[in-house]
Amino acid sequence: MYRYDEFDHDFVQARVAEFSDQVQRRLSGEITEDQFRPLRLMNGVYLQLHAYMLRIAVPYGTLNSKQLRMLGHIARKYDKGYGHFTTRQNIQFNWPALSDIPAILADLASVEMHAIQTSGNCIRNVTADHFAGAAADEVADPRPYAEILRQWSSVHPEFSFLPRKFKIAVTGAERDRAAIQTHDIGLHLKKNAAGELGFAVYIGGGQGRTPMVARKIRDFLPEADLLSYCTAILRVYNLYGRRDNKYKARIKILVHETGVEEITRQVEAEWQELKDAELKLPDADIRAIEAYFAPPELTGRPDGDEAVKLARLDSKGFSEWLDQNVVTHRHPDYAAVTISLKGIGEVPGDASDSQMEAVADIAEKYAFDELRVSHEQNLILPHVARADLKAVYDALVDIELATANSNLISDIISCPGLDYCALATARSIPIAQEISRRFASLERQREIGELKLKISGCINACGHHHVGHIGILGVEKKGSELYQVTLGGSADENTSVGEIIGRGFSSEEITDAIEQIVDTYLGLRLNPQEKFIDAYRRVGPAPFKEALYAGEAKAA
Amino acid sequence: MKILTANRLSDGIAVWYADGGWAEAVGQADLAHDKAAEDRLEAIGAKAYADNEVVDVNLIDADIVDGVVEPVRLREKIRAAGPTIRGDLGKQAEQAA
């Protein structure tokens, strides 16, 4: 994986020193909160309901075991023994004292990590397919490009005060696991007819109060032009994006109001000025960054098939986990493993200090020291020999992280909601927990099949509810929590925004409503292979409305 | 009725103004029963903010329930107790201990 060079080390150390000084001056009263707030936000420090919150960047979701161990150490030493993995592939700590944050940042810097640009109106952590480098279906690893974007966007003077935050995602496969069409810029790495690498470029996707699916503005951008083209997009946005209204300030609104043809013309015109200048990426530079991401040397382990076969016979639990949480690797003797942070009734995305340390040990021993954070709030071991899968499973059972529910209804994305977040209008975690408990039976979950359920505790949509097959949005109505349900959203290569199905449900009603929706689907699907999202797209909302509300209409 | 709440600057912990200082529990918070008392609390909050003791200062609705002060809104109830999903954390844990 990427290693800091001298410049990166100096840059991060300088930032630690700078922010430590700013914290000291704040604590001594030398600077006011109004002066300090933008400075702390540039370093990932928020103020939540109970305490400060520190959001730490995990660039394109890639970690090594030393880094994960350090996150466990921070959780134990400075926080309350756990951390929360987020949909931006980052991690948040919920209880740090402001006075401890300089020490935390120094600890992070010692393992090449930081919290820079995890907040503020700048380019945020660039996310990537969590199976990057391992997936059997990718044309190339997207992370070198994410790293190039990270280097370019870090404290970029022109793009540090944009109209609003700006998020970029990259995938290297046709099957989009990085939700690129919900991003300000989505990049799909592909090959043209000549076999050259480049990108399909999407802009203007986003969630929040005005969800929009990104529009493709270029079908093939040569890889050398990545930075010049992104600069052109950011320039057009920085110039014309609205600054008068926070809720209309994202690029999606600009794309919508300007029209995709006109904004494409503007971007292309800007790009003509830039494309042959200093932003053109020399091939040697791309290949040098790519070398950092060279996959580990995967030696042949042909004993895997036999080992897996025997272990399957020996353990039903292993067999189920294998079916659900283990995916094909480009090397036939290897597999990529999803470590579910969605144990039944647990808090989605939370991991304890000792779990982080134990997972780090597993990664070191069995997975070439590589880990990923997925935007679905799970951890990934991208390269595990099939012959070692049983050992990995047993180690995960020991730390209660072997739940076999990847992509099933209990693999829920949930924001922290009103249990932590100062912006939230309703709780989301308890709803996730109750739904997870209701559908605890793995047999039942597998009968239902792939179902992406996503919950947000406010309209800002951090829980991605708009693109859940089933989405739940918590709002406050007359002092109570009310949960609105959307159906038919999706965040893959066929991205769609879910439709509101009808009136909302109280916290007591919502789990029953979800069960009714699921039962309706089971009753109408053509066969067990027809997934929830496909069935919904075939039949539309009517049968679900009927199931949820017909009784009311008759009563009324 | 209103009470004054904020988060302490140094560690961000939620606090309520009570008996001349900032308490870590809401139960004994000073209650404002009228506009004049609200103004007095607001002035105290503004000064504490200016003195860099606290941040995010707010006057919030409260009631007296079983002899102790309790915030009205769910958000403020959760601030006063801790995450509803982690009874072992926040004020609720300290009070139980």
pLDDT digit string (tens) for chain A, length 556 residues: 888 999 999 999 999 999 999 999 999 999 999 999 999 999 999 999 999 999 999 999 999 999 999 999 999 999 999 999 999 999 999 999 999 999 999 999 999 999 999 999 999 999 999 999 999 999 999 999 999 999 999 999 999 999 999 999 999 999 999 999 999 999 999 999 999 999 999 999 999 999 999 999 999 999 999 999 999 999 999 999 999 999 999 999 999 999 999 999 999 999 999 999 999 999 999 999 999 999 999 999 999 999 999 999 999 999 999 999 999 999 999 999 999 999 999 999 999 999 999 999 999 999 999 999 999 999 999 999 999 999 999 999 999 999 999 999 999 999 999 999 999 999 999 999 999 999 999 999 999 999 999 999 999 999 999 999 999 999 999 999 999 999 999 999 999 999 999 999 999 999 999 999 999 999 999 999 999 999 999 999 999 999 999 987 655 5
Max intra-chain CA distance, chain A: 72
Of B11, B74, B78, the CB nearest to A51: B11
CATH architecture of A304-398: Alpha-Beta Complex (3.90)
Which residues in chain B have their CB less than 8 angstroms from residue A427's CB? 78, 84-85
Overall size of chain B counted in residues: 97
Q: Is B19 on the interface with A (CB under 8 A)?
A: no
Sequence letter at residue A89? Q
pLDDT reported for residue A440: 98
Which residues lie across from A482 on neighbouring strands?
A: A475, A506
Q: Is the pLDDT of residue B68 over 90?
A: yes
Contact A51 B75 (CB under 8 A): no
Q: Is the pLDDT of residue B78 over 90?
A: yes
* Angle made by CA atoms A189, A192, A194, in degrees to the nearest 5: 140
Contact A347 B13 (CB under 8 A): no
Which residues in chain A have their CB less than 8 angstroms from residue B79's CB? 49-50
The tokens of A453 are what?
A: 């359920």
Sequence letter at residue A174? E
Contact A29 B83 (CB under 8 A): no
Query: Which chain A residue lies closest to B92 (C-alpha atoms)?
Result: A50
Look at residue A360 and give its three-state secondary structure. helix
- Alpha carbon distances (Å) from A29 to A35, A47, A54, B39, B54: 11, 18, 21, 25, 11
* pTM score above 0.80: yes
Q: Are A173 and A191 in contact (CB under 8 A)?
A: no
Query: How many Cβ atoms sit within 10 Å of the Cβ of residue A21?
Result: 12
Residues in Cβ contact with A364 at an 8 Å cutoff, skipping those fewer than 6 apart? A65
Distance spanning both ends of chain A, measured CA to CA = 62
Could you give the dihedral angle defined by the CA atoms of residues A278, A281, A282 and A285, in that order, rounded to the nearest 10 degrees?
120
Sequence letter at residue A355? Q
Residue-range domain boundaries for chain A: 6-109, 135-292, 304-398, 413-555
pLDDT reported for residue A555: 57
Instruction: Please tell us whether the domain made up of A6-109 is placed in CATH 3.90.480.20.
Output: yes
Q: Is B46 on the interface with A (CB under 8 A)?
A: no
Q: Is the pLDDT of residue B94 over 90?
A: no
Alpha carbon of A97: minimum distance to chain B alpha carbons (Å): 4
Look at residue A85 and give its three-state secondary structure. strand
Give the span between the Cα atoms of A114 and A20, in whole angstroms: 13
pLDDT digits (tens, 9 = 90+) for B25-55: 999 999 999 999 999 999 999 999 999 999 9
Alpha carbon of A430: minimum distance to chain B alpha carbons (Å): 7
CATH architecture of A413-555: 2-Layer Sandwich (3.30)
The tokens of A429 are what?
A: 């975690």
Give the ipTM of the model, two decimals please: 0.97
Look at residue A338 and give its three-state secondary structure. strand
The tokens of A53 are what?
A: 């919150």
Run of H or E including A239: helix A226-240
Sequence letter at residue A73? H
Q: Are A374 and A380 in contact (CB under 8 A)?
A: yes
Instruction: State the residue for tokens 């300007």.
Output: A258
Give the span between the Cα atoms of A93 and A78, in whole angstroms: 9
Q: Are A54 and A44 in contact (CB under 8 A)?
A: yes
Q: Are B54 and B9 in contact (CB under 8 A)?
A: yes
Select from B24, B42, B22 the least CA-distant residue to B32: B42
Q: Is A98 on the interface with B (CB under 8 A)?
A: yes
pLDDT reported for residue A402: 98
Q: Indicate if the alpha-carbon torsion angle B35, B41, B45, B46 is positive or negative.
A: positive
Exposed e or buried b for every residue in B3-33, given b needs 16+ CB within 10 A?
bbbbbbbbebbbbbbbeeebeebbbebbbbe
Give the span between the Cα atoms of A507 and A343, in whole angstroms: 21
Residues in Cβ contact with A373 at an 8 Å cutoff, skipping those fewer than 6 apart? A58, A61, A63, A85, A89, A90, A91, A130, A379, A380
The tokens of A369 are what?
A: 């020291």
The tokens of A449 are what?
A: 């099949």
Give the span between the Cα atoms of B15 and B21, in whole angstroms: 10
Fold agreement between A6-109 and A413-555:
no
For an interface test with A, the pick among B5, B7, B54, B60 (most A C-beta atoms closer than 10 Å) comes out as: B7
Instruction: Please tell us whether the domain made up of A135-292 is placed in CATH 3.40.50.1000.
Output: no
Q: Is the pLDDT of residue B97 over 80?
A: no
Give the span between the Cα atoms of A379 and A64, in whole angstroms: 12
pLDDT reported for residue A553: 62
Query: How many Cβ atoms sit within 10 Å of the Cβ of residue A507?
Result: 16
Alpha carbon of B93: minimum distance to chain A alpha carbons (Å): 12
The tokens of A60 are what?
A: 């394109």
Alpha carbon of A529: minimum distance to chain B alpha carbons (Å): 36
Residues in Cβ contact with A172 at an 8 Å cutoff, skipping those fewer than 6 apart? A128, A129, A132, A135, A138, A139, A140, A141, A142, A189
Give the span between the Cα atoms of B54 and A98, in whole angstroms: 12
Instruction: State the residue for tokens 């003791």.
Output: B53
Cβ pairs bridging A and B (under 8 Å): 74
Tell me the pairing of strands A52-56 and A499-500.
Answer: unpaired
Could you give the dihedral angle defined by the CA atoms of residues A542, A544, A549 and A551, in that order, rounded to the nearest 10 degrees?
100
